[in-house]
């Protein structure tokens, strides 16, 4: 077993884990943060995307021990319980950027990462290129792209990063 | 995934000692090749030695006439580095085409080279630019380093510390992606160096990355895509699978080589 400690959504957490525990397993099974999903389990679909030290990573391809001492943010950490949604979440709601919703947490975490790297004024082309690692089997992406463009603009006027 | 013991050395020396002490130990940095193959139980190392906490191993700098990239520099770091963008923009562009944004945040240049996947992008750049792979023990020229598919000159307790790329006059990388996996079906890196021209191909060879000397000799006389007119590559020794026949890959190499030379000239 390995002792790990990290900050998850602003809260310090510690646990003893088998070294082969994936970060996504640790989040879902130890911390019961089930907003992060396992889709393909082969680092292709992006349903498991979380932020590790502020950067989007695939938590199904990251060992929990490798996140030891680092900071993790999941979909649950975007806006406090009961408070208004994060502007990117709100944009997905407003523009119906989902159907079944399974890919949505990963889409939103990736979308926010795109804004951090590429700014608030995103062309459809940039968004589609940047979504290469996130698969959606329902929407055909059109509304997801619209949601991200709108969410990126809304984030410029928000305190939530 | 099978059980393993996890080690986190603070220095390359400590990491090397762990490799000596623990038979069949594997190095991990970004983990974006090793974790998937461990999940599939294609690899089951009893020990993992994590290099990601070794300070300074991810540095990117210019030293003399070379661009030096630390082994644990991520693909994203190389793609967005102002130093790389200034020195060898083709290398930054190559790194920005690996995997997807989340993968690029974790995957490292050292990991990619040590794995020597026949469809990986970096081997083409390392071979075409005539880079030197520096380890904790020695310096390996690109030609010595790559030893065929998934095989390198690295010994079991040897660790890549950095890669030194001599600055080319012009360079470009053009990749034709597999539509599903996004790996290179064929990728061509061309470099006009002070003394010669080198052109390396990834994705196509059944023995991994290789150079096309016929193209190189023609390009050395005149660095223009026109000199490649009529020149072809034999399909012998090329991969043939459901994504493309060997003949198709041979055709792509000639097409992409022209595009790469055009792109290199357009940059200058």
Q: How many CB atoms lie within 10 A of CB B89?
A: 14
pLDDT at position B64, please?
96
Query: In sequence order, what are the residues at sequence separation of 6 or more whose Cβ sits closer than 8 angstroms to the Cβ of residue A39?
Result: A45, A46, A47, A48, A102, A103, A106, A135
ipTM at complex level? 0.95
Contact residues, chain B, for A56 at CB < 8 Å? 101-102, 105
The alpha carbon of residue A159 is apart from the nearest alpha carbon of chain B, in Å, by 24
In this complex, do A43 and B103 lie within 8 Å of one another by their Cβ atoms?
Answer: yes
Q: Is A55 on the interface with B (CB under 8 A)?
A: yes
Q: Is B193 on the interface with A (CB under 8 A)?
A: no
- Look-up of token digits 């006009």: B192
In this complex, do A56 and B102 lie within 8 Å of one another by their Cβ atoms?
Answer: yes
pLDDT at position A69, please?
96
For the stretch B204-219, pLDDT in tens is 998 999 999 999 999 9
The per-residue DSSP string of B116-173 comes to: T-TT-SHHHHHHHTT-EEEESS-EEEHHHHB-STT-BS--TT--EEEEEEEPPSEEEE
For the stretch A112-140, pLDDT in tens is 999 999 999 999 999 999 999 999 999 99
In this complex, do B31 and A110 lie within 8 Å of one another by their Cβ atoms?
Answer: no
Interface test with B, best of A66, A107, A117 (most B CBs within 10 A): A66
Contact residues, chain A, for B3 at CB < 8 Å? 18-20
Nearest to B34 by CA among B184, B171, B150, B131: B150
In this complex, do A19 and B4 lie within 8 Å of one another by their Cβ atoms?
Answer: yes
Query: In sequence order, what are the residues at sequence separation of 6 or more whose Cβ sits closer than 8 angstroms to the Cβ of residue A72?
Result: A6, A7, A8, A9, A23, A27, A50, A51, A52
> Are the CB atoms for B119 and B183 separated by under 8 Å?
yes
Confidence (pTM): 0.96
Overall average pLDDT of the B172-187 stretch: 92
The per-residue DSSP string of B19-34 comes to: HHHSTT-EEESS-TTH
Q: Is A58 on the interface with B (CB under 8 A)?
A: yes
**What distance in Å separates the CA atoms of residue A101 and residue A139, rounded to the nearest whole number?**
10
The shortest CB-CB distance from B35 to any of A55, A63, A114 is to A63
A102 SS3 class:
coil
The percent helix, strand, coil of chain A (3-state, each to 5) is 40, 15, 45
The nearest alpha carbon in chain A to B2 belongs to: A20
pLDDT at position B181, please?
81
**What distance in Å separates the CA atoms of residue B161 and residue B70, rounded to the nearest whole number?**
6
Q: What is the mean pLDDT of chain B?
A: 96
Overall average pLDDT of the B21-50 stretch: 96
Interface test with A, best of B102, B107, B177, B183 (most A CBs within 10 A): B102
> A31 in the Ramachandran plot: left (φ > 0), alpha (ψ -120 to 50) or beta?
alpha
With a pLDDT cut of 90, the percent of chain B lying above it is: 97
**What distance in Å separates the CA atoms of residue B109 and residue B116, rounded to the nearest whole number?**
11
Contact residues, chain B, for A49 at CB < 8 Å? 102
For the stretch B65-81, pLDDT in tens is 999 999 999 999 999 99
- Extract the tokens encoding B260: 């790469």
The nearest alpha carbon in chain B to A2 belongs to: B6
> CA of B36: how far to CAs of A58, B41, B202, B203, in Å?
12, 9, 22, 20
Asked if pLDDT for residue A21 goes beyond 90, the answer is yes
Q: pLDDT band at B268, cuts 50/70/90?
A: low
pLDDT at position B180, please?
81
Residue B134 — φ and ψ, nearest 5°? Answer: -100, 130
pLDDT at position B224, please?
98
For β-strands A11-17 and B5-7, DSSP reports them as unpaired
For the stretch A34-62, pLDDT in tens is 999 999 999 999 999 999 999 999 999 99
The alpha carbon of residue A95 is apart from the nearest alpha carbon of chain B, in Å, by 24
Asked if pLDDT for residue B232 goes beyond 70, the answer is yes
B191 SS3 class:
strand
Q: Is A135 on the interface with B (CB under 8 A)?
A: no
For the stretch A57-108, pLDDT in tens is 999 999 999 999 999 999 999 998 889 999 999 999 999 999 999 999 999 9
> Are the CB atoms for A108 and A155 separated by under 8 Å?
no
Q: Is B135 on the interface with A (CB under 8 A)?
A: no
**What distance in Å separates the CA atoms of residue B227 and residue B185, rounded to the nearest whole number?**
24
Q: How many CB atoms lie within 10 A of CB A81?
A: 5
The alpha carbon of residue A151 is apart from the nearest alpha carbon of chain B, in Å, by 19
Contact residues, chain B, for A43 at CB < 8 Å? 32, 36, 99, 102-103
Cα radius of gyration (chain A): 15
The runs of H, that is alpha helices, within chain B are: 12-21, 34-39, 75-80, 82-87, 89-95, 101-104, 109-115, 122-128, 142-145, 213-221, 246-267
Contact residues, chain B, for A61 at CB < 8 Å? 31-32, 35-36, 103, 106
Asked if pLDDT for residue A159 goes beyond 80, the answer is no
- Long-range (24+ apart) CB contacts under 8 A made by A23-31 are A23/A50, A23/A52, A23/A59, A23/A60, A23/A62, A23/A63, A23/A64, A23/A66, A23/A67, A23/A72, A24/A48, A24/A50, A24/A59, A24/A60, A24/A62, A25/A64, A26/A64, A26/A67, A27/A59, A27/A72, A27/A74
């Amino acid at each position: 077993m390995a002792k790990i400690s990290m900050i998850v959504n602003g809260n310090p957490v510690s646990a003893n884990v088998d070294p082969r525990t994936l970060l996504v397993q640790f989040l879902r099974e130890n911390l019961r943060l089930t907003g992060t999903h396992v889709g393909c389990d082969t680092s292709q679909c992006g349903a498991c995307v979380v932020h590790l030290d502020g950067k989007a990573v695939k938590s199904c391809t990251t060992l929990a021990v490798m996140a030891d001492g680092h900071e993790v943010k999941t979909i649950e950490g975007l806006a406090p319980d009961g408070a208004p949604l994060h502007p990117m979440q709100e944009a997905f709601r407003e523009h119906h950027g989902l159907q079944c919703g399974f890919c949505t947490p990963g889409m939103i975490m990736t979308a926010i990462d795109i804004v951090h790297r590429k700014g608030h004024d995103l062309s459809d082309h940039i968004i589609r290129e940047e979504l290469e690692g996130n698969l959606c089997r329902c929407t055909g992406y059109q509304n997801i792209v619209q949601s991200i463009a709108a969410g990126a603009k809304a984030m410029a006027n928000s305190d939530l990063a | 995934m099978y059980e393993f013991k996890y080690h986190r050395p603070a220095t390359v020396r400590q990491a090397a000692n762990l490799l000596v002490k623990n038979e069949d130990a594997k190095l991990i940095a970004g983990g974006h090749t090793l974790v998937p193959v461990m999940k599939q139980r294609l690899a089951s190392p009893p020990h993992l030695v994590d290099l990601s906490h070794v300070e300074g191993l991810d540095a990117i700098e210019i030293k003399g006439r070379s661009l030096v990239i630390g082994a644990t520099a991520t693909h994203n770091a190389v793609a967005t580095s102002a130093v790389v963008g200034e020195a060898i923009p083709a290398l930054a562009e190559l790194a920005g085409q690996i995997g997807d944004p989340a993968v690029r945040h974790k995957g490292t240049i050292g990991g990619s080279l040590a794995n020597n996947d026949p469809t990986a992008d970096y081997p083409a750049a390392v071979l075409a630019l005539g880079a030197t792979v520096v380890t904790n023990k020695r310096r390996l020229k690109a030609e010595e380093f790559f030893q065929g598919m998934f095989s390198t000159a690295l010994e079991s307790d040897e660790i890549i510390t950095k890669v030194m790329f001599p600055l080319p006059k012009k360079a470009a990388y053009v990749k034709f992606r597999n539509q599903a996996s996004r790996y290179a079906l064929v990728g061509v890196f061309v470099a006009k160096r002070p003394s010669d021209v080198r052109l390396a191909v990834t994705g196509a060879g059944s023995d991994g990355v290789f150079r096309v000397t016929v193209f190189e000799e023609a390009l050395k006389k005149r660095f223009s895509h026109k000199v490649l007119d009529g020149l072809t590559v034999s399909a012998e020794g090329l991969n043939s699978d459901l994504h493309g026949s060997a003949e198709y890959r041979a055709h792509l190499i000639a097409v992409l080589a022209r595009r790469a030379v055009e792109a290199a000239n357009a940059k200058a």
